[in-house]
Chain A
Amino acid sequence: MATFSAGTNRQEKPLLNLDPVLMGSLVLLSGAGLAVLYSAANNNLDIVIRQFTHFAIGFMVLVLLAQIPSKQLFKWSPWLYLGGLIVLIMVLVVGYSGKGAQRWLDLGLIRFQPSELMKIFLPMMVAWYLSDKHAPPSLRHIAVALLMIAIPAWLIVIQPDLGTALLVLSLGFFVVFLAGITWRLLAVSGGLLLASVPVFWFYLHDYQQQRIITLLNPESDPLGAGYHIIQSKIALGSGGLYGKGWLNGTQSQLDFLPERSTDFVFAVFGEEFGFLGAILLLFIYGFVVMRGLSIASYAEDTYSRLLAGSLSLSFFVYFVVNIGMVSGLLPIVGIPLPLISYGGTSIVTILAAFGILMSIHSSQNLFTS
């Protein structure tokens, strides 16, 4: 666990408050992402360049946030959360539709998904709220925290963007969990959650219901809803132990694999780099999460701990759900593979979260040194 350990005996403040271990892993992932994207986009350099721009912006945001002490973030938390809610409502009113969902907000120069903001603002808010409450928090405090989570989650569900909503929900839940919710309460709420599944089901869009149904038996509808998952399993499976080699994945190169530069990019990765490559990727992801959790555990104040922990876990949810869905274990809910899938907003959000983690890490360094 030595490399995960983010706490002990740091002698000097790292350059620009950046944790070199975490930074190195992120750069490695980004590089791998660009390489796979080049292959997934049929050697289209334009997309790679655009993605590179996303990374550039993302890393700038990261470095920027790393300079802001967590104390500042703590103060801004409620306002950012409120602002995020307002933008979410705006999306529903004036948002731009794509693929049957209203997720985008056009700001002239850039279009972005405001729901992404909530992936950072929500844990900040809940951590802010729970940081001065005793652990474990009382039922009333938990109820308030859940309401804070439910409002944005609901606004995102009705866009509808199930994947992001689930991510936001889980982020909020992680904060509550890390804040020290009792196991008994956890069990009870877990039961309630299960009971609410049928109700929740009722509110899902047809295409979302279909995705869950076909997950159970994708072969039943090979040309329709099951096509994605069948093709991605073929891509992964045909990759074998060593893979077909970079740019040589037939499934992806010959267009059989849908959405192969976005949500299904892992299938391209698995086809071209094989089981060994996939395991290596999993290892790096796991390492990043562990490093994040380590930073959280060494953080000095409750707010930083909760925030660092939940942000690390959000990264975990990202890659576990994405790889789980691409390999046919989980429903297709539209969560990108972090730092590898094409897409600006998610990259910037993820890197922003790591910026916050860096900041927390360096604050902790300050305390110890």
Chain B
Amino acid sequence: MAARDFFKDTKREKRYFRTRIYIVGLLVLLCILVLALRLFYLQVKSHDYYATLSHENRMKVVPIPPTRGLVYDRNLNLLAANRPSYQIRVTPVDVEDIEQVITRLGQLIDLEEHHLKKFYGDLKRKQAFESIPLKVNLSEEEVARFSVNRHRFPGVEIIAHASRHYPMTGVNAHALGYVGRINADEMQKLDRKDYSGTTYIGKVGVEKFYEETLHGTVGYQHIEINAQGRRLRILESIPPVPGKDIVLSLDSQLQEVALQALGERRGSVVAIEPATGEILVFVSAPTYDPNLFVNGIGNKQYAGLRDDPDQPLFNRALSGLYPPGSTIKPMVALAGLHYGVTRAKDTIWAGPYFQLPGNTRKYRDWKKEGHGSVDMLKAITQSSDVYFYTLAHKLGIDRMAEFLAQFNFGRQTGLDTWGEVKGILPSQEWKRSAHGQPWYPGETVITGIGQGYMSATPLQLALATSVLATRGKGVQPKFLRAIQLSQEEQSVNQTSVARSVDVTDESHWDQIVEAMTDSVHKPNGTAYSVGKNASYTIAGKTGTAQVFSLQKDGEYLEYNEEDIDEKLRDHALFIAFAPAEKPEIAIAVVVENGGSGGVAAAPIAKAVMDHYLLEDEYAHQDSS
């Protein structure tokens, strides 16, 4: 090779080559300079910009939902608890093909249609980086199956959270309500920030009314994550403020007693502590298990509840409207005394029916032969219809409406819950605006026995009874007893008098209470069946509300209960307070289509009062 080289002009070639090397060397230096400048631009000039990006890259702010406040009853039995549960969540931005991932997840986790529907609904509303729950309340097997396959599902994670649980299932359902997954409408109205990690929101009842108190304040974690979104460590943490525990006035033992006493029948029991307005019993039967709603109820299950002819989801205590029937009579009597239309000792002849002057229509008494000569005491005790037809006619509808309004008929009681119905307290003005028709005198007559247009909820009846028990002090009814501010500190819900009933003479109260006591304890009283064995005095009034009127030639007719459909039978009502001298409990019972108030409703009230006054070891520690 050397030999061949020497044939050429070696020196010239070498020089030539050197020149090339120098040129190339310069090129190398130039390229290095360009790279150095580029690195200077990236690492020195733009450092701040990229440092920020790097910071954002690795940081993720994760909301920590606050623990929802617990709910206790007055005896500190736990009504609403939180228990650990696992949910699977999907972060859309980290998932390539959502549908495909969901399909694959379906092989590990039992996904029903409502899970998917909710998920895809959320998917549209939420931002891509927000994680969306796919299924809550996973079984342990599902958690295990997913955990093993976790690496196959980037962007999908299982999170432990506290799931609402109602240990007493249906006992307090209609008072307590329930929480459920936040839906689209709620999302619109919420503070998105505060609810960013929250799964549940109060849907009905106390859970809804005290949502703000129970919810608490969201906390945050600044988490360092890697490119797969896996959490590596917590950099900073702002702890959430847990929701406050609340104590309700409800007595869940009494709730159970009331439910048991109602048995299979539809109806409602509401009991109030007259002095404070605290709701002791708030039962609507049949009831349902609120736990079903917490994590999304299945369509079939929901349809079952919705289409049940007994309507378990319907809150009878709060929204069920019933003609008060004869339970209105003590109040109408009081109105008579107050306005001086009659005196307690005045007697009238109560025959089989009442007729308005110049009218042939007969307003019949429930007792075919009538009650004969009755004064107010006897009229209430035996529940004479004719007496009250007469009294109502004398009072006139407007005076009656004005007076009964003081017992909170025809308007909401303002109980701390949602969905209350105000009922109807008819008057001339009401009829004009509601029906555009004039008032007829015959309508006054039947209003006197709590029929016709008049309607009220069991809650309103219980409140009116409580007003009777306190002789006119209309305290604000309430579920909330106290808010637990800290371990030691409670904020007690103060009692407030909403409005009081004024009568011209305080002795009027005594006369009414005496009459109500007699109707329970006197052998001729309509509720003697419960009064004869009572170890304390009960003041009460039965009621039988017509659901259905057999009319013949414009007359109200009595009918044989056995002959007609169960759903068309009368509602049985009973209101009472006890002990009559120093009332600790006021109660209203409605048994739908139960027939006679004295037979069907009064024993239920008695069972509750017995338990409260005689057996409940906690009952008196607060009220006496």
Contacts and interface: CB of A to CB of B under 8 A. Distances in A.
A131 to B, nearest CB: 7
Contacts of B40: 275
B50 A279 contact: no
| Chain A CB within 10 Å, residue with most, of B17, B53, B226 | B17
A36 interface: no
A218 interface: no
A329 B34 CA distance: 10
B611 interface: no
Contact of B224 (A236, A251, A254): A254
A208 interface: no
A26 interface: no
Interface stretch (B20-28, B315-323, B377-385): B20-28
Contacts of B13: 135, 180, 302
Interface string B143-169: 000000000000000000000000000
| Chain A CB within 10 Å, residue with most, of B18, B24, B224 | B24
Contacts of B20: 177-178, 180, 309
Nearest to A70: B1
Contacts of B54: 234-235, 237-238, 250-251
Given A178-B20, A327-B35, A131 B50 contact: no
A255 B5 CA distance: 56
B548 interface: no
Given A131-B1, A296-B21, A237 B42 contact: yes
B225 interface: yes
B43 interface: yes
Contacts of A323: 35, 39
Interface residues of A, number: 53
A256 B21 CA distance: 41
B232 interface: yes
A223 B58 CA distance: 15
A344 interface: no
Interface residues of B, number: 44
Interface string A303-317: 101000100010010
B51 A279 contact: no
B362 to A, nearest CB: 85
B8 A134 contact: yes
Contacts of A316: 28, 31
Interface in B246-278: none
Contacts of A329: 34-35, 38
Interface in B280-317: none
Contact of B16 (A131, A135, A279, A282): A135
B49 interface: yes
A285 B232 CA distance: 37
Given A236-B43, A254-B227, A323-B35, 9 more contacts: A178-B21, A282-B36, A286-B32, A290-B28, A296-B21, A302-B13, A320-B35, A327-B38, A327-B39
26 contacts: A177-B20, A178-B21, A234-B53, A237-B51, A237-B53, A238-B50, A238-B51, A238-B55, A240-B43, A240-B47, A240-B51, A250-B54, A251-B54, A256-B57, A270-B42, A278-B43, A282-B36, A282-B39, A286-B29, A300-B2, A301-B2, A305-B14, A309-B20, A316-B28, A329-B34, A329-B38
Interface of A: 71, 74, 131-132, 134-136, 174, 177-178, 180, 231, 233-241, 250-251, 254-256, 270, 274-275, 278-279, 282, 285-286, 289-290, 293, 296-297, 300-303, 305, 309, 313, 316, 320, 323-324, 327-329
